[in-house]
Structure 1
Amino acid sequence: MADKKILDVVIIGGGPSGLNAALVLGRARKHVAVIDEGRPRNAVTQETHGFLTRDGISPGEFRRIAKEEIGAYPTVSFVDDKAVLIARTDGQFQIATAQGKTFASKKVLFAIGMKDRPLNIPGLGEVYGRSAFVCPYCDGWELRDQPLVIITKGAELMHFAPLISGWTNRFTVCTNGPDELTDAEREELQRNQVPLFDSPIRHIDSSDGIVRQVVLEDGTTVPCRGIFFKPELVTGSDLPRTIGCEITEWGAVQVDDFGKTNIPGVYSAGDAASRMHQAIAAASMGAFVAAVINNELNTEAWGRTL
């Protein structure tokens, strides 16, 4: 089934970035479709933090309120579906969904977020979002002063260790294999009394989603009340690659300071285009890039009128 109307913008992804972009574009009187399959990465978490006026809200409730507010702008529609194909023909973008719908638009905004690769540590899936997290700015307050295990290694560890020390000084590092540290870096951790174990992790013991201990292959057990770990991430959709967007070395969509990709008319915002993986940062970027898109649409229309 095809939507015959040529939309101004199709937004692929309905998280904070895509929703805030839809709000800005709706208020700018642009015709927009937001295509989202309803499977956000943060669905595993109980609460969203660090977002002024929404601190502690569940991700699902955040989206419900956002859609309700955007509903005041009749030029924005929501499509509960998955975008599976994209092509550019005659200066327009054609987007097809898993349910057989097609949309034509002048611009495309990828607000697809990131998704986790399968978690390869037994027991981690049972605690992810309950007592195991990836961002201390989002969840560090709830685990303040608690004994924690940090699962990461190398340069990422040397960034994360001093960061997490602002919430608790009771943490142990488990690198789940070779630590990839220099002698100087190991000495730095020792000076700060940070225990370090490089034995592979056998499994994580938990009860009702709350971690009890991390068990290593060498028999060591590390009691803890929470975990922070470095996930392996990929973009939430392969469509940017399909249409030829450049991808960064860490797997995000390459954009300039205005959210533009190397493909004219294609933009990206939020977690898929940034390393600032926080809801408020994604929403801010979505709002900004939406204003850039609106300005480009208006400028093009102004030129045609002249």
Structure 2
Amino acid sequence: MYDVIVVGAGPSGLNAALILGRALRRVLLVDSGEPRNARAHAMNGFLSRDGIDPAEFRRIAREDLAKYETVTVRDVAVASVSAGEESASVVLADGTTEQARSVLLTVGRRDRLPEVDGVAELWGQGVYGCPYCHGFEVRGQKLAVLGAETSAAHLAVQLTRYSSDVVLFTDGTPDFDEEAAAALKVCEVEVRTEPVEQVTGADGHLTGVRIGGETIARDAMFVKTPLDAHGELAEALGCELMDDGSVRIDEHGHTSVDLIYAAGEAARLPNWPSPWIHAITSAALGAMVALSIDHDLIVADVRSKFGM
């Protein structure tokens, strides 16, 4: 039996496995091989790894884990998880079942892209979701924002720190509030309300936005995408979910189901305004929850020895 099965090998799961391996815990780290940043050329804002290719980051992380003999990594999806009084069962997609004293869900999120021609094709390669992740690289360039909501207006205003040439394409009637509209005006963001026909690109780079038969030259686009949590396993377990689909956790990473913990992008404390969706914050949360899991296992072992 494993001490911990970690579901998901993104930054959060990898860092959790590292901490638990250093604590001499028997760990099984399983991953379906569908990272959210798979199409991105670089992962930025991660100390000592700024600008690294996401695939290279994962390779180095797994290399780090290889020296810990108690950590096993398997590239296989999880079919289901069930929790009992003293152990949990994890059924893998290859038909095998593994047992553990606890399970850590670091299942991440998926971006729900707008259904505009060209956006999906250029996602991560000219169309981005986060200025902190990709804004620095396109500073001073012709920038576009796609969206009609107040959040899109806020994003456009934020991007004026990176460029004096920002155009907000609402793809129809805008739906932002008066304060957002005033901020757009003050920051001199051009607003185009015509239907967006296509986001154009060449050689993996964005070149423009086509509206009304004309193409407005742009070098990069940012989209405030809804983020859907991969919450199927947690929901099937009966874990309490929040309105945005996040797995509700306490300050130690406990979910509402005994033996089940959660960390990373898909986990959230009730008092957080939003999930920790950046790679480095997800990694930090993975480490924090791993420490809590090890503490809980120590307490359980001591109580068992004393018959408590």
Normalising TM by the smaller chain, what interval?
over 0.9
SS of the residue 2:248 aligns to = coil
How far is 1:93 from its partner? 1.0
Which deviates the most, 139-148 or 262-271?
Answer: 262-271
Determine if the alignment matches structure 1 residue 296 to structure 2 residue 296.
yes
Match of residue 244 from structure 2: 250
Match of residue 31 from structure 1: 26
- Give distance in 1, aligned partners of 2:6 and 2:36: 17
Superposition map of 1:76-95 within 5 A: 76-95=71-90
- Residue among 98, 105, 108 paired with 1:110: 105
Match of residue 236 from structure 1: 230
Which residue type is aligned with residue 226 of structure 1? A
Match of residue 261 from structure 1: 255
Give yes or no for contact 2:2–2:101 (8 Å, CA) kept in 1: yes
Determine if the alignment matches structure 1 residue 223 to structure 2 residue 217.
yes
Give yes or no for contact 2:118–2:199 (8 Å, CA) kept in 1: yes
Which residue type is aligned with residue 304 of structure 1? S
Which deviates the most, 94-103 or 233-242?
Answer: 233-242
Match of residue 171 from structure 2: 176
Which residue type is aligned with residue 243 of structure 2? E
SS of the residue 2:266 aligns to = helix
Give yes or no for contact 2:153–2:168 (8 Å, CA) kept in 1: no
Cα offsets for 1:139-165 (capped at 9, x unmatched): 111100111101133231243233222
Give yes or no for contact 1:233–1:251 (8 Å, CA) kept in 2: no
- Give distance in 2, aligned partners of 1:187 and 1:114: 33
Q: Aligned pair count?
A: 300
How far is 1:117 from its partner? 3.2
Give yes or no for contact 1:20–1:287 (8 Å, CA) kept in 2: yes
Match of residue 276 from structure 2: 276
SS of the residue 1:270 aligns to = coil
Match of residue 122 from structure 1: 117
Which residue type is aligned with residue 305 of structure 2? T
SS of the residue 2:206 aligns to = strand
Give yes or no for contact 2:157–2:184 (8 Å, CA) kept in 1: no
How far is 1:184 from its partner? 4.1
- Give distance in 1, aligned partners of 2:258 and 2:127: 40
- Give distance in 2, aligned partners of 1:169 and 1:259: 42
Match of residue 195 from structure 2: 200
Match of residue 156 from structure 2: 161
| CA distance 1:74–1:210, change in 2 (3 Å) | same
User: Gaps (5+ residues) in structure 2?
Assistant: 269-274
- Give distance in 2, aligned partners of 1:248 and 1:201: 33
CA RMSD of aligned residues (A): 1.6
Percentage identity across aligned positions?
A: 33
How far is 1:220 from its partner? 5.1
TM-score (norm 1): 0.93
